[in-house]
Structure 1
Amino acid sequence: MDNKTLAREILDNVGGIKNIKSAQHCATRLRIITKNQELVDVKAIENLDKVKGSFYNSGQYQIILGTGLVDKVYEEFMPLIGQETTAKVEDELPGSEKITFRRAIRIFGDVFVPIIPVLVATGLFMGLRGLLTQEAILSVLGLTPGDVPVQLIQFTQILTDTAFAFLPALVAWSTFKIFGGTPIIGLVLGLMLVHSILPSAYAVGAGEAEPLIFFGFIKVVGYQASVLPAFMTAIATATIEKWFKKVIPDSLDLILRPFLTLLCGLILGLFIIGPVFHEVENYVLAAVKFLLTLPFGLGGLIYGSFGQLLGIIGIHHILSLLEINMLAKDGWNLLNPVGTCGNVAQAGAVLAIAVKTASNKMKQIAYPSALSAALGITEPAVFGVTLRLGKPFIMSMIGGGVGGFFASIFQLRATGLGLTGIPGTLLYLNGQLPLYILTNLIAFATAFALTWVFGYKKDDTL
């Protein structure tokens, strides 16, 4: 008897769909909450091939199947009762239907849907912290940065840093869930990728730390705040885990599958995918340095258009080194005013969608995502809205490019780094604040108008 037939026989003998409230599973047992215990044919179930016994406990009818087998039967059982164990992304992948770029982007976006609320909250926390801890704001209250209690700073750091420090763990968890792996294994794999022993990619990018060197030549850093490396590692590892499910004997599944999955995933992430992205970062750094030297605003136009892609790819950390070097050498940051235009353009594109859409669900996602982007956190806007829809992302790139062009023409220079959008105004209290506001309004308005006219129809859905 195959697993699908076994699942169907169990369903028939517990009284059918109408007698089931919900179903779960543990390491060895399929746990079913039934409406009427008298409709369950215990004897018939226990006589089924592969069933090792059953019993009632705390309102649950628990069927003993054993390690490994219970996972497989559960995956067959849940669709029979009208519930899915995963988002069935397998239907979107090669093998069942030819994958397209749009379908791949939609899958990528689906991974971020469960994560969006915490990213929006973090964006708000970061915006408020940036405003309330700046010297210009504190001076209005007759205070200086030294007057702010250390404990308050530490408290705000917990609010603002946690989600992004462990973003790879959230991405890996959601990716495993979407791609049919075990979500808790994905979560642990993501946590391994940001383990405290691994130097932060931001610290390495800023020149404050050195990468770990394995085998004499492989440079390894943590994935803190990275997206695509964790996403790719999780896809590959979830695929490996599903293969292990098929080849590992059920009696050894509980021991071997998590062990081998995490081992393979960590090796893949740290020694293959990570180093590849590290090399890409070096080329990106050289390219951005070159762009900043181009005349007539061309560098601002190009970087303002395509800089948003660096955050998606997860190689934006290296630019911190360039910003710090500029500040140390001349006291000015020429990259910030160009980069912030892309963030504000995302806010404009998403706000256009929020206003124009006929979908209440879309409005619920788009409005807070637009606010978060205006405060400098674009992940909810990008992964939750514009990238999934396609055209609005292109419109935001154009808006960012137009804004970046004017930022270069106006020769905008920030006095620091790390703040963009509305909080970024505090970096331009050097006589350039009006030009900074004007530049960002241009980026915002361009993306808003293009999205409204060309990039989005009111009936489009995610």
Structure 2
Amino acid sequence: MNDKKIAESVIQAVGGKENIQSLAHCATRLRIMVKDKEKVDQAQVEDIEKVKGAFYNSGQFQIIFGTGTVNKIYNEITTLGIEGSSKSEVKSVSAKQGNAFQRAIRVFGDVFVPIIPVLVATGLFMGLRGVVMNDQILSWMGMTAKDIPQNFILFTQILTDTAFAFLPALVAWSAFKVFGGSPVLGIVLGLMLVNPALPNAYQVGDGSVEAIKFFNFIPIVGYQGSVLPAFFVGLIGAKFEQALRKRIPDAIDLIVTPFLVLLVMVTLGLFVIGPVFHSIETIILSGTEWVLALPFGIAGLLIGFFQQIIVVTGVHHIFNFMEIQLLEKFHYNAFNPIISAAMTAQAAAAVAVGLKTKKAKLKALAIPSAFSALLGITEPAIFGVNLRYFKPFICGLIGGAVGGFFAAIFQLKASGMAITVLPGILLFLKDIGQLPFYILVLVISFVTAFVLTWFFGYSDKLAEEIKEA
């Protein structure tokens, strides 16, 4: 079946052209907003050649084709008379879908996802710096830490510290962009929150500097590494800017609007939003630390089991916020290895299905989906294979729990975030002694999920029974 035939089949299976409200695509998925869900035949969609899975998420019907293929199918659909929409337009339609919690987490994701590549790079720089500064590696070259030039150390600090030192600027910029404000105002407001004239948050934290007290009771500090204050400064600031532009005459808009936005929002940021939401942020971080500190590997067991369920619900971006907080305060991320264990287990379940089935199409779908999961993208494996037959998904959850348990027992700590499983190896170069244990955790997760799926999770006979039911 060629791409045009696949496009026609997709249109027919989702209820025809008249049932498509908007159409867009991301790196791997076709995203369709439909007018009537009842007209969508999901089973028919999943039977179409090259389709690796289909599911509803965030109010969208998403069809997994994989990288490259999705672009071709999207182009073919648009040539058949269906006008494509931008992802932002699809988001604006889907923003009204789901419950309040799902919508809130989706907004968090929209703000944090654009800044994640910078945090990924920072984590890799930390890992590489750890390799360069490792005493054992230096000894192989006949050197010690004292032999490393101070200028080189300064250079590495610039690479590893800048993103977190100016994190509020990144968050406020992204929030202004998402909520319809001028991103440049977001950048400036974020920089104001970490202005060197303010007491440094880290120094206030260790007691070497005292916060400035306004009116003898409002503590004013910089918000280096903080997230929530910058997020809400961006959200409220963007809405305030929109309101001003509707009311201020065009002749003076260029002067008055930025002046008022900066004046009002930095005042609110330092005196109200900052103190309130930094306190909330501290409570959330304390709760996260408490969970991760649970004894006997309980944290890894729970997170390793439930993390991929959270992925299915579409609210997994909440982990981004927690990981950023951990990295900002401790410069390590204990979530990452547990999440990697959960992803590895789903990959293993898909491999077991692919090797055990005699169905050519399922075999062709399962193995590439598993490879994608080993690179950190589990949706094709989950929605295309494991969740479709349910038991492989459960076996994957158990494998993730077992791997997460050992990740917690070994006290594994990544130097960054957002890259997992095999690429995640790079995040354990900072403390190279943990690398063998990280690999062992992945092996344990894989073997556990694979064995469970092979013996208890899948057979072609069971698949037929599920299909008939």
TM-score range for the pair, normalised by the shorter chain length: 0.5 to 0.7
Name the structure 2 match of 1:406.
406
The structural deviation recorded for 1:338 is: 4.8
Name the structure 2 match of 1:76.
none
The answer to whether the 8 A contact 1:337-1:436 is kept is no
How far apart, CA to CA, are the structure 2 residues paired with 1:245 and 1:164?
Answer: 32
Name the structure 2 match of 1:236.
236
Change (3 A) 1:181 1:308: closer
1:174 aligns with 2:183: no
Change (3 A) 1:153 1:231: same
Q: Which has the higher helix share?
A: 2
1:312 aligns with 2:308: no
Name the structure 2 match of 1:124.
124
The structural deviation recorded for 1:204 is: 4.5
How far apart, CA to CA, are the structure 2 residues paired with 1:190 and 1:427?
Answer: 32
Name the structure 2 match of 1:184.
184
Name the structure 1 match of 2:265.
265
Alignment of 1:376-455 (within 5 A): 402-408=402-408, 410=409, 412=410, 422=425, 423-424=427-428, 427=431, 429=433, 434-435=436-437, 437-439=439-441, 441-442=443-444
The structural deviation recorded for 1:136 is: 2.2
Name the structure 2 match of 1:341.
337
CA-to-aligned-CA distance 1:310-347 (integer Å, 9 cap, x gap):
75056447854xx9xxxxxxxxxxxx795453464587
Tell me the SS of whatever aligns to 2:198: coil
Tell me the SS of whatever aligns to 2:196: coil
**Code of the aligned partner of 1:163:** A
The answer to whether the 8 A contact 1:341-1:400 is kept is no
Change (3 A) 1:294 1:245: closer
**Code of the aligned partner of 1:177:** K
**Code of the aligned partner of 1:147:** D
Gaps of 5+ in 2: 1-82, 308-315, 355-367, 388-392, 418-423, 458-469
Change (3 A) 1:351 1:436: closer
Name the structure 2 match of 1:163.
163
CA-to-aligned-CA distance 1:151-189 (integer Å, 9 cap, x gap):
111112222222332232223223222322112111111
The answer to whether the 8 A contact 2:127-2:429 is kept is no
Tell me the SS of whatever aligns to 1:115: helix
The answer to whether the 8 A contact 1:345-1:446 is kept is no
The structural deviation recorded for 1:243 is: 0.6
Change (3 A) 1:319 1:114: closer
Tell me the SS of whatever aligns to 2:219: strand
Alignment of 1:7-406 (within 5 A): 87=88, 91=92, 100-205=100-205, 209-284=209-284, 287=287, 295-299=295-299, 301=301, 309=318, 312=321, 315-316=325-326, 320=330, 338-339=334-335, 341-342=337-338, 344-345=340-341, 348=344, 402-406=402-406
Change (3 A) 1:350 1:401: closer
Change (3 A) 1:93 1:267: farther
Tell me the SS of whatever aligns to 2:118: helix
How far apart, CA to CA, are the structure 2 residues paired with 1:254 and 1:86?
Answer: 30
The structural deviation recorded for 1:143 is: 1.1
The answer to whether the 8 A contact 1:90-1:179 is kept is no
Tell me the SS of whatever aligns to 2:122: helix
The answer to whether the 8 A contact 2:233-2:273 is kept is yes
How far apart, CA to CA, are the structure 1 residues paired with 2:289 and 2:399?
Answer: 22
**Code of the aligned partner of 2:155:** F
CA-to-aligned-CA distance 1:23-67 (integer Å, 9 cap, x gap):
xxxxxxxxxxxxxxxxxxxxxxxxxxxxxxxxxxxxxxxxxxxxx
Tell me the SS of whatever aligns to 1:231: helix
Change (3 A) 1:283 1:114: closer
Amino-acid identity (%)? 48
How far apart, CA to CA, are the structure 2 residues paired with 1:238 and 1:295?
Answer: 44
**What's the TM-score once normalised by structure 1's chain length?**
0.53
Gaps of 5+ in 1: 1-81, 324-335, 357-362, 374-380, 454-462
How far apart, CA to CA, are the structure 2 residues paired with 1:173 and 1:145?
Answer: 38
Tell me the SS of whatever aligns to 1:222: coil
The structural deviation recorded for 1:139 is: 1.6
RMSD: 5.2
How far apart, CA to CA, are the structure 1 residues paired with 2:127 and 2:196?
Answer: 26
